[in-house]
């Protein structure tokens, strides 16, 4: 992760804002990583499910139990 | 009771899909599923070496009833072992069906409702003292069970009906309960079933049969479910004041609560006023904490259960579910459905989401959606996988189950005809020696040693098989032989003269 001071998108010359911007960038990167992980998990789930969801659901019929 | 026997019976949904033709109906798949069981025990209703019961129930539901457990983690391990046992059978059924020309996959779902609204259960059994005052029990336990779903419900995407849009509910079972307390199960499902089959000394114990619960996938949710219920029972048994939350109409209350995921649904209390499920549970939690402060914790997970209980109530009350999204079944599933719906811009009642609701409960270790979430750290666990593997073959060590397991495995190894159930142990050739074990909390009984001794001196040559040796046997692991008979020469030389 970059520790270089970064400029705020809208400019501004307040030095105090730099770490905050870096933190935001870090958080964004984190969020992106999480979103990527979620994407690949959802892809994996997609790949194991029966492709015809409606048919699977309608076909799942039991007799009552107990 | 400080030591209490608990057991859980799970009915699984079964389906066959993904082949070139329409899937086989559930009863035919169930027949394939139980082929190895039938071959092993000449019946589709057997006790297996881990002392649990495996059977085909009403309506062709494969069912697994855990052996008697006096430890919450033993119970959860045995229940999880049941999922793996079903998976093993499903794999074998799939292969056998393929040989007969039926391709496709067999699905075993540990859920409680099919696409047409048929329901099947997850029944809890708690051993309680016969002296427990039943009226007191029901006035405290019923409101607890009606409101417990906000913590331990498995969650359900309820399809659209004439009256309501598709929506997410806390519970799978809430809509299928018709009475507070009664002796029926299929005809009119009651929350507490009074069928009094204690499977123990009826003068001392009673078996509380609770049929309102959802089947849980999460070990953490299971811990809260059995742990909190046991704590409430302890308070009932001790006679301490627990407060009055008796509901005016438990059945309308259980549905009302289930269908309001905001947790704001208020239900009428018999003595006047309205309360939410969170109100009632928070007061019970408070009482339970006070009870444990005064009487001490009876096992080492009590604090963990309190923490989960409180955190879950806070999450429901605040509508901020993130703190329980790895721990509580309905919240884990809701997070997933939300993620999938957002990614694909799917409306609430989309078939894909209904499919996911079902696939969450698929017991397949690498296809079941709950198992995938757990593998990716999106669902917490309480048990090491090794412990669950062991529970496939080992009876719980601290209850009567240990004796049953030893009896049936020894009789099998000796080739002795025998019958066994929760209480009875009989060698067919020695009917007069039949042994009744009426104390489910006792893991030792010299009479069992005497009975097994009657099988002949070669009993002494039996050696216990390792897990690997048992895996190498052809039958499903759960049905593998525990003992191997030694060579007669292994017996000590008889003394001369």
Query: Is the per-residue pLDDT at A37 higher than 80?
Result: yes
Q: Looking at the structure, do residues B430 and B294 belong to the same domain, yes or no?
A: no
When pLDDT is cut at 50, 70 and 90, the band that residue A19 belongs to is: low
Assess if residue A30 is contained within a domain.
Answer: yes
When pLDDT is averaged across residues B269-280 and rounded to a whole number, the result is 96
Residue with tokens 């018999």: B270
Determine contact, residues B179/B193, Cβ cutoff 8 Å: no
β-pairing, B13-17 vs B105-109, is antiparallel
**Structure token digits, residue B395:** 């009876």
Query: Is the per-residue pLDDT at B333 higher than 80?
Result: yes
Domain that holds residue A33: 18-47
- Chain A, nearest residue to B372 by Cα: A45
Which tens digits make up the pLDDT trace of B355-378? 999 999 999 999 999 999 999 999
Partner A contacted by B58 (CB < 8 A): yes
Nearest by CB to B13, from A44, A58, A62: name it: A62
When pLDDT is averaged across residues B135-155 and rounded to a whole number, the result is 96
User: How much is the pLDDT for A16?
Assistant: 47
The answer to which of B85-89, B182-186, B253-257, B479-483 has the lowest mean pLDDT is B182-186
User: How much is the pLDDT for A1?
Assistant: 43
* Strand spans (E) along B202-295: 205-210, 266-268, 274-276
User: How much is the pLDDT for B5?
Assistant: 97
Residues of A in contact with B17 (CB under 8 A): 50, 55-56, 59-60
User: How much is the pLDDT for B234?
Assistant: 97
> A56 vs chain B: nearest CA distance in angstroms?
7
Assess if residue B496 is contained within a domain.
Answer: no
Partner A contacted by B62 (CB < 8 A): no
Number of domains in chain B: 2
Determine contact, residues A62/B13, Cβ cutoff 8 Å: yes
Q: Looking at the structure, do residues B172 and B151 belong to the same domain, yes or no?
A: yes
The candidate with the shortest Cα–Cα distance to B149, out of B269, B278, B320, is B278
Query: Is the per-residue pLDDT at B196 higher than 60?
Result: yes
Q: Looking at the structure, do residues B330 and B436 belong to the same domain, yes or no?
A: no
> A34 vs chain B: nearest CA distance in angstroms?
12
Q: Looking at the structure, do residues B379 and B459 belong to the same domain, yes or no?
A: no
What are the angstrom distances between the C-alpha of B127 and each of B22, B64, B176, B413?
Answer: 45, 19, 25, 32
Assess if residue A66 is contained within a domain.
Answer: no
Number of domains in chain A: 1
The answer to whether the CB atoms of A63 and B115 lie below 8 A apart is no
Assess if residue A58 is contained within a domain.
Answer: no
Nearest by CB to A63, from B18, B59, B115: name it: B59
Assess if residue B152 is contained within a domain.
Answer: yes
Q: Is B57 annotated as catalytic?
A: yes
* Strand spans (E) along B147-264: 156-158, 167-169, 179-182, 190-193, 205-210
Distance between CA atoms of residues B82 and B243, nearest Å:
37
Nearest by CB to A42, from B58, B340, B355: name it: B340
Which tens digits make up the pLDDT trace of B59-111? 678 999 999 999 999 999 999 999 999 999 999 999 999 999 999 999 999 99
The answer to whether the CB atoms of A66 and B339 lie below 8 A apart is no
CATH of the domain at B271: 3.30.590.20
User: How much is the pLDDT for B130?
Assistant: 92
Query: Is the per-residue pLDDT at B185 higher than 80?
Result: no
Q: Looking at the structure, do residues B335 and B479 belong to the same domain, yes or no?
A: no
Q: Measured at the alpha carbon of residue B449, what is the angle toward residues B446 and B450, in degrees to the nearest 5?
A: 90
Partner A contacted by B39 (CB < 8 A): no
Assess if residue B495 is contained within a domain.
Answer: no
- Chain B, nearest residue to A54 by Cα: B351
Assess if residue A38 is contained within a domain.
Answer: yes
SS3 B362: strand
Q: Looking at the structure, do residues B349 and B462 belong to the same domain, yes or no?
A: no
- Chain B, nearest residue to A61 by Cα: B114
The candidate with the shortest Cα–Cα distance to B79, out of B89, B94, B93, B69, is B69
Query: Is the per-residue pLDDT at A12 higher than 80?
Result: no
Q: Looking at the structure, do residues B365 and B456 belong to the same domain, yes or no?
A: no
Partner B contacted by A11 (CB < 8 A): no
The answer to whether the CB atoms of A65 and B356 lie below 8 A apart is no
Query: Is the per-residue pLDDT at B478 higher than 50?
Result: yes
Partner A contacted by B3 (CB < 8 A): no
Compute φ and ψ for B486, nearest 5 degrees: -80, 170
- Give the best residue of B15, B213, B353 to mutate against chain A (max A CB count within 10 A): B15
Determine contact, residues B391/B383, Cβ cutoff 8 Å: no
* Strand spans (E) along B280-353: none
β-pairing, B483-484 vs B105-109, is unpaired
When pLDDT is averaged across residues B153-166 and rounded to a whole number, the result is 94
When pLDDT is cut at 50, 70 and 90, the band that residue B186 belongs to is: low
The answer to whether the CB atoms of A45 and B356 lie below 8 A apart is yes
Distance between CA atoms of residues B255 and B169, nearest Å:
9
What is chain B's mean pLDDT, rounded? 94
Q: Looking at the structure, do residues B381 and B399 belong to the same domain, yes or no?
A: no
Assess if residue A29 is contained within a domain.
Answer: yes
Assess if residue A53 is contained within a domain.
Answer: no
User: How much is the pLDDT for B245?
Assistant: 92
Query: Which positions 25-54 of A are in contact with B (Cβ < 8 Å)?
Result: 37-39, 41-42, 44-45, 48-50, 53-54
Distance between CA atoms of residues B172 and B110, nearest Å:
11
The candidate with the shortest Cα–Cα distance to B185, out of B128, B121, B114, is B121
Distance between CA atoms of residues B253 and B148, nearest Å:
12
User: How much is the pLDDT for B134?
Assistant: 87
Residues of A in contact with B352 (CB under 8 A): 53
The candidate with the shortest Cα–Cα distance to B26, out of B37, B13, B36, is B13
Q: Report the interhelical angle of A17-48 vs B329-344 (nearest 10°).
A: 90
Assess if residue A60 is contained within a domain.
Answer: no
The answer to whether the CB atoms of A41 and B376 lie below 8 A apart is yes
Q: Looking at the structure, do residues B66 and B165 belong to the same domain, yes or no?
A: yes
Assess if residue A5 is contained within a domain.
Answer: no
The answer to whether the CB atoms of A53 and B61 lie below 8 A apart is no
Q: Which residue has the higher pLDDT, B409 or B195?
A: B409
Show which of B334, B362, B389 is a domain's final residue.
B389
Q: Looking at the structure, do residues B341 and B450 belong to the same domain, yes or no?
A: no
Q: Report the interhelical angle of B277-295 vs B219-238 (nearest 10°).
A: 70
Percent of chain B past pLDDT 90, that is, above it, reads 88
> B343 vs chain A: nearest CA distance in angstroms?
9
Q: Measured at the alpha carbon of residue B190, what is the angle toward residues B201 and B424, in degrees to the nearest 5?
A: 25
Neighbours of B329 (CB within 10 A): 29
| Residue pairs between chains A and B whose CB atoms are closer than 8 Å | 105
The helix/strand count (H/E) of chain A reads as: 2, 0
Assess if residue B131 is contained within a domain.
Answer: yes
Distance between CA atoms of residues B122 and A66, nearest Å:
9
> B276 vs chain A: nearest CA distance in angstroms?
30
The answer to whether the CB atoms of B189 and A66 lie below 8 A apart is yes
Which tens digits make up the pLDDT trace of B199-214? 999 899 999 999 999 9
User: How much is the pLDDT for B166?
Assistant: 96
Show which of B389, B416, B443 is a domain's final residue.
B389
User: How much is the pLDDT for B187?
Assistant: 63
SS3 B276: strand
Partner A contacted by B322 (CB < 8 A): no
Residues of B in contact with A61 (CB under 8 A): 15, 26, 114-116, 118
Partner B contacted by A13 (CB < 8 A): no
Residue with tokens 């299928």: B176
The answer to which of B47-61, B247-261, B347-361 has the lowest mean pLDDT is B47-61
Q: What is the C-alpha radius of gyration for chain A, rounded to an integer number of angstroms? A: 23
User: How much is the pLDDT for A9?
Assistant: 44
Distance between CA atoms of residues B398 and B67, nearest Å:
11
Partner B contacted by A4 (CB < 8 A): no
Residues of A in contact with B350 (CB under 8 A): 53
Partner A contacted by B117 (CB < 8 A): no
Assess if residue B159 is contained within a domain.
Answer: yes
Which tens digits make up the pLDDT trace of B406-420? 999 999 999 999 999
**Structure token digits, residue B385:** 């996988």
When pLDDT is cut at 50, 70 and 90, the band that residue B492 belongs to is: low
Neighbours of B284 (CB within 10 A): 24
Region of B24 please: left (phi>0), alpha (psi -120 to 50) or beta. beta
Domain that holds residue B468: 394-490
Q: Looking at the structure, do residues B310 and B404 belong to the same domain, yes or no?
A: no
Which tens digits make up the pLDDT trace of B15-30? 999 999 889 999 999 9
Assess if residue B497 is contained within a domain.
Answer: no
Assess if residue B400 is contained within a domain.
Answer: yes
When pLDDT is averaged across residues B456-472 and rounded to a whole number, the result is 96
Determine contact, residues B221/B329, Cβ cutoff 8 Å: yes
Show which of B389, B422, B438 is a domain's final residue.
B389
């Amino acid at each position: 992760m970059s520790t270089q001071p970064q400029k705020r998108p809208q400019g501004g010359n307040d030095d105090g804002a730099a770490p905050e911007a870096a933190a935001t960038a870090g958080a964004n990167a984190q969020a992106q990583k999480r979103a990527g992980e979620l994407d690949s998990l959802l892809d994996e789930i997609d790949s194991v499910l029966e492709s015809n969801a409606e048919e699977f659901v309608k076909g799942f019929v039991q007799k009552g139990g107990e | 009771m400080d030591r209490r026997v608990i057991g859980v019976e799970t009915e699984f949904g079964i389906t066959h899909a993904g082949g070139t033709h329409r899937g086989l109906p559930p009863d035919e798949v169930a027949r394939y599923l139980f082929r190895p069981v039938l071959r092993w025990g000449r019946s589709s209703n057997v006790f297996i070496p881990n002392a649990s019961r495996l059977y085909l129930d009403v309506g062709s539901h494969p069912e697994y009833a855990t052996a008697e457990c006096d430890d919450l983690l033993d119970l959860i391990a045995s229940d999880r072992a049941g999922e793996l046992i079903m998976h093993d059978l499903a794999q074998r059924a799939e292969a056998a069906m393929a040989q007969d020309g039926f391709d496709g996959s067999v699905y075993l779902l540990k859920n409680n409702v099919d696409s047409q609204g048929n329901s099947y259960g997850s029944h809890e059994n708690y051993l309680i003292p016969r002296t427990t005052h039943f009226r007191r029990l029901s006035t405290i336990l019923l409101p607890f069970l009606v409101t417990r779903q906000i913590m331990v419900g498995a969650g359900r995407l309820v399809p659209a009906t004439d009256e309501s849009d598709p929506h997410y509910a806390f519970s799978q079972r809430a809509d299928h309960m018709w009475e507070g307390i009664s002796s029926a199960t299929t005809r009119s499902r009651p929350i507490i079933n009074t069928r009094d089959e204690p499977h123990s000394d009826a003068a001392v114990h009673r078996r509380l049969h609770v049929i309102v619960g959802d089947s849980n996938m999460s070990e953490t949710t299971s811990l809260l479910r059995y742990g909190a219920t046991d704590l409430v029972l302890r308070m009932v048994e001790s006679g301490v004041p627990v407060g009055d939350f008796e509901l005016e109409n438990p059945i309308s209350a259980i549905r009302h609560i289930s269908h309001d995921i905001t947790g704001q649904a208020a239900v009428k209390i018999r003595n006047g006023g309205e309360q939410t499920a969170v109100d009632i549970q928070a007061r019970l939690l408070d009482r339970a904490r006070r009870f444990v402060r005064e009487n001490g914790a009876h096992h080492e997970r009590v604090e963990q259960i309190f923490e989960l209980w409180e955190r879950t109530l806070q999450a429901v009350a605040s509508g901020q579910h993130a703190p329980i999204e790895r721990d509580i079944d309905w919240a884990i599933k809701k997070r997933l459905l939300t993620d999938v719906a957002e990614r694909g811009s799917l409306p609430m009642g989309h078939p894909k989401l209904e499919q996911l609701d079902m696939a969450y409960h698929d017991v397949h270790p690498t296809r079941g959606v709950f198992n995938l979430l757990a593998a990716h750290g999106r669902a917490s666990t309480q048990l090491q996988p090794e412990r669950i593997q062991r529970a496939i073959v080992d009876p719980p060590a601290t209850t009567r189950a240990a004796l049953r397991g030893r009896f049936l495995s020894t009789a099998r190894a000796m080739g002795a005809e025998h019958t066994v159930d929760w209480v009875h142990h009989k060698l067919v050739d020695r009917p007069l020696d039949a042994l009744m074990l009426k104390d489910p909390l006792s893991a030792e009984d010299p009479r069992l040693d005497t009975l097994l001794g009657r099988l002949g001196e070669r009993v002494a040559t039996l050696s216990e098989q390792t897990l690997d040796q048992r895996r190498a046997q052809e039958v499903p692991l759960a049905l593998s032989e525990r003992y191997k008979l030694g060579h007669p020469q292994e017996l000590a030389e008889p003394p001369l003269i």
